[in-house]
Structure 1
Amino acid sequence: MPNLTPRQQIMELITGTRRTARQLAELVGIPERQVEEHLAHIVRSVARDRTRCFLLEPSECQDCAYSFRERTRLTRPSRCPRCRSEAVSAPRYGIELRAPS
């Protein structure tokens, strides 16, 4: 994938699977914060494309199992609003291909 831009690499890596920002940063070779910036643009690109759908698997508290389903930000939350624990899993991102209608 050396001829692809980081954004294109990320799109290829999350198509058909789900990965965290940290996993993507390691695979692409860029900082995690840059991955999150690219993901914001990828969400917009995928929203315009009727053949693909962006998936966000929400973060979850490891202590009380609270799920951050209502969260719209792509970044990992710092702590749980219910129990205040900082043991929060990272969100996972993916792209699914939609069946033609």
Structure 2
Amino acid sequence: MATRRQRIISLLEERDYSPSELARLLDLRGKGATKAVLEDLKAIQRILKREGKVLLIKPAECKNCGFVFKPEIKIPTKCPRCKSEWIEEPRFKIEKK
């Protein structure tokens, strides 16, 4: 049986996913589900460096004004430009260097 991080890695090698999508696919529930996936992604990013792979990050984006956040492993809660909370989650994918 694969670990949760191994399952995330194999999913991200196929295509890109948001943290919420990964949480649903892994059948994680509750308030901490997305946070757990984000913590796993941080660990996976370190693991991939040793394997010659890279975690690509499509940054979060404000759906209201189009502001693009820095590409990082976190989900912003509010847009700094328009203060909207209507935020598109970042998306992650794994590729070989």
* TM-score by shorter chain over 0.5: yes
Q: Return the offset for 1:71.
A: 4.6
Contact 2:17 2:93 in 1 (8 A): yes
- One-letter amino acid of the counterpart of residue 42, structure 1: I
**Aligned with 2:94: secondary structure?**
strand
**Please, what TM-score do these two structures have when normalized by structure 1?**
0.85
Provide the rounded CA distance (Å) in 2 between the counterparts of 1:96 and 1:16: 9
The reply on whether 1:11 has 2:12 as its aligned counterpart is: no
Q: How does 1:21-100 map onto structure 2 within 5 Å?
A: 21-30=19-28, 31-50=33-52, 52-68=53-69, 70-72=70-72, 74-98=73-97
Structure 1: stretches of 5+ with no match in the other structure: none
Say which one has the larger Rg: 1
C-alpha offsets along residues 34-92 of structure 1, whole Å, 9 cap, x if unaligned?
Answer: 11111110010112222x11101100011110101x353x1210011111111110011
Once superposed, which parts of structure 1, at least 4 consecutive aligned residues long, lie more than 3 Å away?
none
Structure 2: stretches of 5+ with no match in the other structure: none
What's the Cα RMSD here? Answer: 1.2
**Please, what TM-score do these two structures have when normalized by structure 2?**
0.89
Between Structure 1 and Structure 2, the one with more helix by share is: 2
Contact 1:16 1:97 in 2 (8 A): no
Aligned length: 93
Contact 2:58 2:71 in 1 (8 A): no
